[in-house]
């Protein structure tokens, strides 16, 4: 079957309402272009916020500001929505998780993935030192969910560097893998497209990368280049920096055709 999918690229700031308003506008643009599945970037609602623990407490229930917004947006637009990530507290820990929620086209919250790999690295940019584990707990469980247009595997940003997670998603049947992200400009220029295409090719699935795109940010420049990648590694559509929407029509029948000609899974020896 064919379906139009979309990646939303944003330049979010510290003001929640402004971020949500802009997300709503961009999702509406994607729907106008025929999208049935829309992916928001990582941290789309709370990018740059300092009070993450307070925010995580507010988002503990489906009535949290960002969670309620996503549910209402998915329902009003009649679209399946992958909600980037937001901080969500856990009752058993002081720190919360970077959680990616999925909403169906009625606004029901149908899946949650807690980011497994946290970005604790030193990058040669204006921010230099990133320590996500200061604010978040590591997730532990890969997530694949059934949808009317195929099985979707969930991943987030730094996960992209860990091929074993994507192999697990593929073995669970994922046909589309989403990657909401806030890749730095430094790492994004070097590795973003390379890794998205590699994950698509080695797992023979479609990959949707929705990235933050403010390359001129004074402290945390992000790369952008949101894109949709075919299982053969072809970039179907992409956007450089700034804000906007990337759409492409994908045909899941192409996965079966490709696997029949190149049955990688059955050739695996290790």
Active site residues: 42, 115, 157
Structure-token match 């990657």, residue found: 179
CA 253 to chain centre: 23
CB-based contact 253:222 (threshold 8 Å):
no
**H-helix or E-strand spanning residue 122:** strand 120-122
Alpha helices in 2-90 (DSSP H): 16-32, 52-58, 65-77
* 158 to 121, 234, 255: CA distances (angstroms): 10, 22, 25
Task: Taking each helix axis as running N to C, give the angle between helix 65-77 and helix 16-32, from 0 to 180 degrees, rounded to the nearest 10.
Answer: 20
* 92 to 50, 102, 113, 255: CA distances (angstroms): 22, 23, 17, 41
- Total residue length of the chain: 270
Q: What is the DSSP string of 239-264?
A: --SSSEEEEEEEETHHHHHHHHHS-H
Q: Which two tokens stand for residue 103?
A: 């909403």
């Amino acid at each position: 079957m064919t379906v139009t999918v979309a990646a939303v690229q944003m330049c979010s700031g510290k003001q929640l309402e402004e971020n949500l308003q802009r997300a709503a506008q961009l999702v509406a643009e994607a729907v106008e272009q025929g999208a049935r599945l829309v992916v928001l970037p990582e941290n789309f609602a709370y990018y740059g916020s300092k009070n993450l623990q307070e925010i995580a407490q507010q988002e503990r229930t489906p009535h949290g500001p960002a969670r309620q917004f996503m549910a209402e947006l998915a329902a009003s637009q009649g679209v399946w929505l992958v909600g980037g990530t937001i901080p969500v507290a856990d009752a058993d820990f002081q720190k919360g998780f970077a959680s990616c929620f999925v909403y169906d086209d009625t606004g029901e919250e149908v899946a949650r993935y807690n980011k497994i790999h946290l970005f604790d690295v030193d990058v040669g940019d204006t921010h230099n030192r990133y320590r996500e584990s200061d604010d978040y707990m590591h997730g532990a469980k890969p997530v694949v969910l059934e949808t009317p247009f195929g099985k979707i595997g969930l991943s987030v940003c730094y996960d992209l560097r860990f091929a074993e997670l994507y192999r697990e998603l593929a073995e669970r049947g994922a046909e589309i893998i989403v990657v909401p992200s806030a890749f730095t400009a430094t790492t994004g220029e070097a590795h973003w497209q390379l890794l998205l295409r590699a994950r698509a090719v080695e797992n023979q699935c479609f990959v949707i990368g929705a990235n933050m795109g403010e390359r001129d940010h004074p402290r945390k420049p992000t790369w952008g280049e949101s894109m949709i990648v075919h299982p053969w590694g072809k970039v179907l559509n992409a956007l450089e920096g700034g804000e906007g929407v990337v759409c492409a029509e994908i045909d899941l029948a192409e996965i079966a055709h490709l696997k029949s000609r190149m049955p990688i899974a059955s050739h695996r020896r290790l």
